Chains A and B, each alone.
Chain A
Amino acid sequence: EAEVAQSPRYKITEKSQAVAFWCDPISGHATLYWYRQILGQGPELLVQFQDESVVDDSQLPKDRFSAERLKGVDSTLKIQPAELGDSAMYLCASSFGPDSKETQYFGPGTRLLVL
């Protein structure tokens, strides 16, 4: 069964360092989502791609976060510099397209701890 791949699974870093997360969506899925989930809360959308284009980054803290999906396949989310408040689970999800009945499938997530 096709799955969304993410790496690393766990990351510990110090405040002010740079971190990067990688996501490979299910083959053929044009829509890719990056979420941040803080313990006890639901996932919060950071950025959404349709193919290689960003279609929603309204909640992305652009002073420190960046995301790219250069060839419309895999994607990288970067934080520089990391802050203590960035400690959270970072989830990547993909869907076939933006159609209303297309659901999204999540990868295993990256748990980030900033010290």
Chain B
Amino acid sequence: QKEVEQNSGPLSVPEGAIASLNCTYSDRVSQSFFWYRQYSGKSPELIMSIYSNGDKEDGRFTAQLNKASQYVSLLIRDSQPSDSATYLCAVKVTDSWGKFQFGAGTQVVVTP
């Protein structure tokens, strides 16, 4: 079993709709959670970080964390064609020098 799992995708979303991305993790000492966006052929760029249970909003993006369920999600509202990318969920394990564990990513395709 992988330590960080994401929906396999691709996720097809009509322009203007909400894209919902899910991530589960297995390591209970995980403290910090990050969402990265990666365009094809490019390196990952940070979108959101979340550390406490609940919701965190930043523009069109909302991250949700539930540590009891070991679940973190990302919502993209009013999806735009420029949101078409692969979204990586990353978990920081703080008992090992701050090692990041990544999921395989979910590809999002926003259709006009």
Number of chain B interface residues as a range: 20 to 34
* A/B pair count, beta carbons within 8 Å: 63
Contact flags A28-60 to B (C-beta < 8 A → 1, else 0): 000101000000111111001010000110000
A contacts with B, residue count (CB < 8 A) = 29
Contact flags A84-103 to B (C-beta < 8 A → 1, else 0): 00000101000101111111
Near B by CB (< 8 A), chain A positions 72-115 give 89, 91, 95, 97-109, 111
Q: Is the beta-carbon distance between A42 and B105 smaller than 8 angstroms?
A: yes
In the bound complex, CA of A106 to CA of B90 (Å): 13
Residues in A lying within 8 Å of B, measured CB to CB: 31, 33, 40-45, 48, 50, 55-56, 89, 91, 95, 97-109, 111
Residues in B lying within 8 Å of A, measured CB to CB: 4, 31-32, 34, 36, 41-46, 49, 51, 88, 92, 94, 96-105
